[in-house]
Structure 1
């Protein structure tokens, strides 16, 4: 087994940092596009355990990354709670109905009852583990409560998520109740993923940067902390709070193994602030992979030179769908040839 990722998360010395990419199972791979073209929708692919396992493993075979991340979607949680969504090509997620009142919140199911509706995800984990045969670890994941809250209030993607943020001010008690329900579901969801065999889990808080520091403490990090505290002891956990740079001190205090960082914060600053307290994941600008090989090598080497261990190399966000496959491979190969 290639367990370099797990050793890094456990604080062990390794000869080089592990590398994987957020959204590595997707449109950058022709194999993925071939599978997707034969499915009626993205959701059909997510809900087909055999096909989900196939596309989960594709980047391991094609790119040689050090981990697979389960092919799924963060919005399976709102759907399991009773809020359906569609994924519209080139537009992203769309919710036919959104949360607008206390009655809407009260009507949602949560916790174990909701998590058990996601059997197709757990079957995909089993199928993936069988096919991977311990070649590399399998990462499970979920959206964070605040990010899921954003979609459930807004109904779609947004640059500002002003509807969701407005709701926090107008209805703080309702907001906390919804976040509690989401958190209870997420915690049970992750526990079942762990029982089914994922080797570590990542919490994606994609819209953390939409909130100010105090609001992110109150409506974001408090719930992430609670979820982490519900998981089995020694669970390998990664928290990626995109844009939450001002909350560094509180992020470092979370009971997780690793913190992911976006590309809008310098690696040198991250290293100086983290100072060995957590494993660092990230934080190359995804657009570097559009550059020529010389620039990809230069940027990757600069990132690698900052950390002397305790680093999972990744992008500062998901790899963009039209990224040249050659650029992705060059990045991965450069990391794999590096030695401390």
Structure 2
């Protein structure tokens, strides 16, 4: 029997709601901080399958979430495509050479860099109960491309957007390469034991509508179709953060199994505008979770009530903040677990 989370992603609208939180395996947990202090930098943890599996399982042991999300990073794909990857303290990730002034053909693929990730999936699946769903993930092509082109994160992704306007053929080649590698990466995660996968498009909100269609919807649709053909039983969650009103077209046109709602999406609007019966995920504000107080229950119940008429995975609108108190998470879980659809 599938667990509550997998059942919901497959379209069941049960009275109770499954819950997991984006970035639930991470810095807000003291057990994570202790292990990171012992093991060293972030990439060291990702490449240490024993440590990464332990980190993936930590929030399940503490909170009993319905799903475990693989501990890794979206930049493992460009790392395997041949870019060098560093995580600099206080500055974030760096990829080199950036493709804004280097050709894609200059990269030499290193597919063996995926091997420890697959091993983490296998070890995690072995440590999970049968009623808990293991979620794999990758970055969506547009978001991964923004890092590959600029070599780092940015506020408005100017360098990547400019390249896409200036030389759409060259940028299409980058997107196509990311799609191909991401498909194999997710297929490897599924073969190792992932039961559902999520595509994080964290920077989709920076695009104008026509570019959103070309660089977000179209490549996501290719990935979703290819995954469905290979693994028809595996749900694909699409999460285009910042999509706003474009989310409705994303839900209709990409072929994903479920869509993630960020905290700016009105759940009443989402229930009205998204395809009937389509599972949704989200959309509690992670800043409210960090701030705490009685509004946690008020907002959580409002989201649950608004989405009661469709399958809904309760989650945050983005990743949990590193300074979020444990007791706030426990408070939120108490609200979700006591709620039932009428």
Shorter-chain TM-score bucket reads over 0.9
Matches of residues 82-161 of structure 1 in structure 2 within 5 Å? 82-101=82-101, 104-109=103-108, 115-161=111-157
C-alpha displacement of 1:250: 2.2
Matches of residues 297-308 of structure 1 in structure 2 within 5 Å? 297-308=297-308
Tell me the number of residue pairs that the alignment of Structure 1 and Structure 2 aligns.
336
What RMSD in Å do the two structures reach over aligned CA positions?
1.5
Match of 2:52 in 1: 52
8 A contact 1:276–1:310 mirrored in 2: no
C-alpha displacement of 1:115: 4.5
Runs of 4+, deviation exceeding 3 Å: 114-117
8 A contact 2:79–2:113 mirrored in 1: no
1:21 has 2:21 as partner: yes
For residues 217-247 of structure 1, give each alpha carbon's deviation from its aligned partner in whole angstroms, at most 9, with x where no partner exists: 1122111110111112232110000011232
For residues 168-212 of structure 1, give each alpha carbon's deviation from its aligned partner in whole angstroms, at most 9, with x where no partner exists: 111110000010001100011111111111010000000000101
Match of 1:165 in 2: 161
1:199 has 2:184 as partner: no
8 A contact 1:64–1:332 mirrored in 2: no
For residues 90-147 of structure 1, give each alpha carbon's deviation from its aligned partner in whole angstroms, at most 9, with x where no partner exists: 221112420134x62113356xxx5553000000011111111424110000000100
C-alpha displacement of 1:277: 4.2
Q: Could you tell me the TM-score, scaled by structure 2's length?
A: 0.94
Matches of residues 183-194 of structure 1 in structure 2 within 5 Å? 183-194=179-190
8 A contact 1:115–1:189 mirrored in 2: no
C-alpha displacement of 1:265: 1.8
For residues 283-327 of structure 1, give each alpha carbon's deviation from its aligned partner in whole angstroms, at most 9, with x where no partner exists: 111111133442211111111111114101001000111111111
1:174 has 2:170 as partner: yes
Q: Could you tell me the TM-score, scaled by structure 1's length?
A: 0.95
Match of 2:338 in 1: 337
Deviates more, 1:2-11 or 1:143-152: 2-11
Cα distance in 1 for partners of 2:325, 2:89 equals 20
Structure 2: gaps spanning 5 or more residues: none
Structure 1: gaps spanning 5 or more residues: none
Instruction: Give the secondary-structure state (helix, strand or coil) at the position aligned to 1:95.
Output: strand
Q: Against the structure 1 CA distance between its residues 275 and 218, is the aligned structure 2 distance closer, same or farther, given a 3 Å change threshold?
A: closer
Match of 1:247 in 2: 246
Match of 2:232 in 1: 233
